Chains A and B, each alone.
Chain A
Amino acid sequence: MTDVLDPPVQLPPPPPSHEMLEEHGHDEHHGPTGILKWITTTDHKIIGLSYTVTSVIMMIIGGAFAEIIRAQLASPNGTLVSLSQYNELFTMHGSVMIYLFVGPFAFGGLANIMVPIQIGAPDMAYPRLNALSYWLYLTGAITMLSGFFTAGGAANFGWVAYAPLSNSVNTPGSGADLWIGGLLLTGFSAIFTGVNICATVFYLRAPGMTMFRMPIFTWNMLVTGILILLAFPVLTAGLIMLYCDRHFGTHIFSVQGGGVPVLWQHIFWFWGHPEVYILALPFFGMATEIIAVFSRKPVFGYKGMVFATLTIAALSLGVWAHHMFTTGVVLLPFFSIMSLLIAVPTGIKIFNWIGTMWRGEIWFSTAMLMAIGFLITFLIGGLTGIYLASPPLDFFTHDTYFVVAHFHSVVMALLMAAMGGLYYWGPKITGYLLNERIGKMQFWFLFIGTQIFTFPLYVLGLEGMPRRVAIYPHDPQWKTLNDWSTFGAILIGISTILFVVNVAVSWKKYPSGDNPWDAQTLEWFTTSPPPHHNFYRLPQIRSERPTWDHNHPEHRSLTHGKHPELTEDGLEKVHSS
């Protein structure tokens, strides 16, 4: 353990009653074991781990598609794949990454494991619904990917499935139907998880865990859950309409029957833009936790952070048409100002992260490096997003590689935060650390690879290269920039391989102990991995950092520069009204 942890952290001994309670027989469950246990479990930790592993496998599949796409674009007349195979590949790359990796990894994986433990709950509010969520997700993922094994190939209309390209005339194959079906299933799994997270946060908080003492990650997951409940049913309804258009002749999105094609875009983006924040907010939360812990400071501007999250969520419901500026049928100024305003709460978050690091004692573990990499990459993605909120600049760059580069900066930042989350919380989930040396190598490949990957794409977009083209024979000088981008994608691929290698190399090798990072929030108070119902005992919860307060009672947060009032036994005085 000492070879991976430097500097070593001095912590007080764990509370004495742990062993006593373990003998008490509280943890004795004579249930099934092995694969039967995995199939029948309702334990949020096992379900969350299943989610995490499945979604990381999805990331590897989606990443493989991306590498094929980049290899195809490495020459102007690429012949690696055919035009229709290329359409399938980018459609499924986007679908797998957005629908099957980033979201499920966050709200099905890490949030499912961490939210109940962070608020001192024994499990999610609806454990069986939670299990149903996972099985719906797995079924949906298999359904969507099985399109590749049909005669017509997988869905090939882009991950946004714009009508009328997605109707039965233009896309007749069953791959498209499997895509719709798979998305319906994963959509329901997301809705159920959203219900579960909201109910858990509202009803299962431990005594003392008030709303403003919840860790930022839990706060962000609560807001994500609310956004899921507002946005996903709209997508589900839209998908059912699309399916009816394809098979039952309803003509909701077709001009011939009196329908409106743009309606699909409204429905899709009314889900799609909140979805951007459904994807991003969990990772903002992860980065917040990591930066605070490894700077050895409380989250700077905690309440401002919460209000920034709520503001982002509120604004995100009113900006969907900035994806539709070039349709010419939306009110430009309204959606422009709403989109620009999102920069304000996002900026607050960035400054709060810097404020958390300021005058801290920063420990550059892999998790912290990933969080800082997230911060820089997200800054680039955020700043280029501001251009796209301005309609004239959006007309200029819409559907070019500039947009592709913008959202890849954003999602690659999220990937860094996700990796940070795995390095940070992995020991809590498994009881074992990952190798830090390989982890740091992974970080540098990922960070540098991402910048080499995205920067040429920005320039290509400004030079006029449209997205979703398999070949660019008329402008062969774009090859150089495309080659750089492909090189960056290869570096990112190597970083993913390093992660898999790290998991294999570190398998049960470096026992972590309960709190290897001297972390602050409640999940680090229990054992690693936590017992069946998460806690044998809870500390006094008098701030958003109960574990820190327990370990360092003399270093409590200076609320507005002042020490909180303490009682004679060193606890914060509670004013009951």
Chain B
Amino acid sequence: MQTPALPPQGATVRARRWRHLRRAVALPLAALALSGCTIPSFYASEGATSSSKSVYHLWQWFSIGAVIIGGFVCILVAYAVLRYRRKGDHIPRQSQYQLPLELAYTIVPILIVFGLFAATLVVENKETANPATKVTINVNAFQWGWKFTYPGTNAFVYGQTTQNPEMIMPAGENVHFNLTSSDVIHGFYVHDFNFSRYALPGVRNEFTILAQNEGTYFGQCTQLCGLYHSLMYFRVKVVSQSQYAAWIASFNNPADEAAAKAAAKTTYQQTSSVVPTHGSTTKFGR
């Protein structure tokens, strides 16, 4: 804006003001409608799966509602606090009821709530759907580590605490998960999936994830599970379908098969006796 703009010709001040106002309101709204990218992220991220993206957009819309409602209430409070400071020993009008107003701030929130609920249902039904899939991964959580097995193949991944067992899954394909726990309740949480689910003893929790972006993502147990809860890490590596097939095939020799069986056997015995590897700066135990 180096040179001042010429005043618009043939328009009254009022019309000009209206035009400015219209531009100020309409432009952001149009931008919002055209692409989700221009909406602020509100500190969340899009994530790597199909449902993590819809969760992210749901998060944005909830946040917009929260900011508008919260801002409105804060402005009301600020106005009341600044405008109605006590100035003397004056007693104000003792009004107590204003029924139309009270009805308005009962009915409008009910409508907002049903709007939020409808948006929730759309995302939730998509996220909790369990379509038929070709790939299944069994996830078993235990104190304090993870075991990932691939039914119908010899592949498995096993690791404790900071060993960071790395679950391999294909991109662009629905993957069915069966989540179980061998001892206490654990939380299967991958931040970039915008998703978590409890691993419950005695229950098989099932869900389907469609990873879209290849990469390695950090996962961690989120439900308190005892002493080494802080260090119950794992990783998720999303690879292309051909890489995935090659990885599965690499397990097809007898030596690995024996190792898989041995690992499956020791899972339950080792849990209480293993001391995890960790950085030397950290002190453990009492």
Interface set of A (CB-CB < 8 Å, partner B):
7, 9-10, 77, 79, 82-87, 153, 157-158, 162, 164-165, 170, 255, 260-262, 295-304, 326-329, 332-333, 336-337, 340-341, 343-344, 347-348, 350-352, 354-355, 357-364, 372, 375-376, 379-380, 383-384, 386-387, 390-393, 395-396, 398-400, 458-459, 462-464, 466-475, 552, 555-561
* Residue B228 lies at the interface, judged by CB distance under 8 Å to chain A: yes
Closest Cβ–Cβ distance, residue B160 to chain A (whole Å): 15
Select the residue from A341, A347, A352 with max chain B CB neighbours within 10 A: A347
Closest Cβ–Cβ distance, residue A24 to chain B (whole Å): 35
B70 A380 Cβ-Cβ under 8 A: yes
Q: In the complex, A391 Cα to B45 Cα: how many Å?
A: 17
* Residue B136 lies at the interface, judged by CB distance under 8 Å to chain A: no
Interface set of B (CB-CB < 8 Å, partner A):
42-45, 51, 54-55, 58-59, 62, 66, 69-70, 73-74, 76-77, 80-81, 84-99, 101-102, 105-106, 109-110, 113, 116-117, 119-121, 123-124, 127-128, 143, 183-185, 187, 189, 191, 194-198, 200-203, 205-207, 218, 220-231, 233, 278-279, 281-286
Closest Cβ–Cβ distance, residue B63 to chain A (whole Å): 8
B197 A326 Cβ-Cβ under 8 A: yes
Q: In the complex, A303 Cα to B49 Cα: how many Å?
A: 49
| Chain A residues whose CB sits within 8 angstroms of the CB of B198 once the complex forms | 326-328
Determine which of A87, A344, A364, A400 lies in contact with B85 in the assembled complex, contact meaning CB atoms within 8 Å: A364
Q: A336-B117, A395-B127 are in contact. Are A361 and B189 (CB under 8 A)?
A: no
| Chain A residues whose CB sits within 8 angstroms of the CB of B128 once the complex forms | 332, 391
Determine which of B73, B84, B96, B202 lies in contact with A559 in the assembled complex, contact meaning CB atoms within 8 Å: B96
A297 B92 Cβ-Cβ under 8 A: yes
A304 B102 Cβ-Cβ under 8 A: yes
Q: In the complex, A363 Cα to B85 Cα: how many Å?
A: 6
Determine which of A261, A361, A400, A556 lies in contact with B90 in the assembled complex, contact meaning CB atoms within 8 Å: A361
14 contacts between A and B (CB under 8 A): A77-B279, A165-B184, A165-B225, A262-B200, A302-B97, A340-B113, A348-B105, A354-B77, A384-B66, A395-B197, A400-B189, A463-B191, A473-B281, A555-B91
B70 A383 Cβ-Cβ under 8 A: yes
Q: In the complex, A355 Cα to B33 Cα: how many Å?
A: 35
B228 A83 Cβ-Cβ under 8 A: yes
| Chain A residues whose CB sits within 8 angstroms of the CB of B87 once the complex forms | 361
B86 A261 Cβ-Cβ under 8 A: no
B283 A87 Cβ-Cβ under 8 A: no
Closest Cβ–Cβ distance, residue A80 to chain B (whole Å): 9
Determine which of B44, B45, B105, B224 lies in contact with A351 in the assembled complex, contact meaning CB atoms within 8 Å: B105
Q: In the complex, A393 Cα to B44 Cα: how many Å?
A: 11
B195 A395 Cβ-Cβ under 8 A: yes
Select the residue from B77, B198, B226 with max chain A CB neighbours within 10 A: B198
B187 A469 Cβ-Cβ under 8 A: no
A332 B124 Cβ-Cβ under 8 A: yes
Select the residue from B80, B110, B189, B228 with max chain A CB neighbours within 10 A: B80
A87 B224 Cβ-Cβ under 8 A: yes
A392 B185 Cβ-Cβ under 8 A: no
B127 A261 Cβ-Cβ under 8 A: no
Determine which of A327, A344, A357, A556 lies in contact with B110 in the assembled complex, contact meaning CB atoms within 8 Å: A344
Q: In the complex, A79 Cα to B285 Cα: how many Å?
A: 11
In the complex, which residue of chain B has the Cβ closest to the Cβ of A86? B230
| Chain A residues whose CB sits within 8 angstroms of the CB of B58 once the complex forms | 390, 392-393
Determine which of B51, B89, B93 lies in contact with A9 in the assembled complex, contact meaning CB atoms within 8 Å: B89
B184 A170 Cβ-Cβ under 8 A: yes
B224 A396 Cβ-Cβ under 8 A: no
In the complex, which residue of chain A has the Cβ closest to the Cβ of B104? A351
Q: In the complex, A333 Cα to B123 Cα: how many Å?
A: 12
Q: Which 7 A-B pairs have the closest CB atoms?
A: A464-B191, A255-B202, A399-B222, A469-B230, A466-B222, A357-B80, A361-B86
| Chain A residues whose CB sits within 8 angstroms of the CB of B102 once the complex forms | 301, 304, 348, 351-352
Q: In the complex, A376 Cα to B99 Cα: how many Å?
A: 25
B94 A392 Cβ-Cβ under 8 A: no
Closest Cβ–Cβ distance, residue A482 to chain B (whole Å): 14
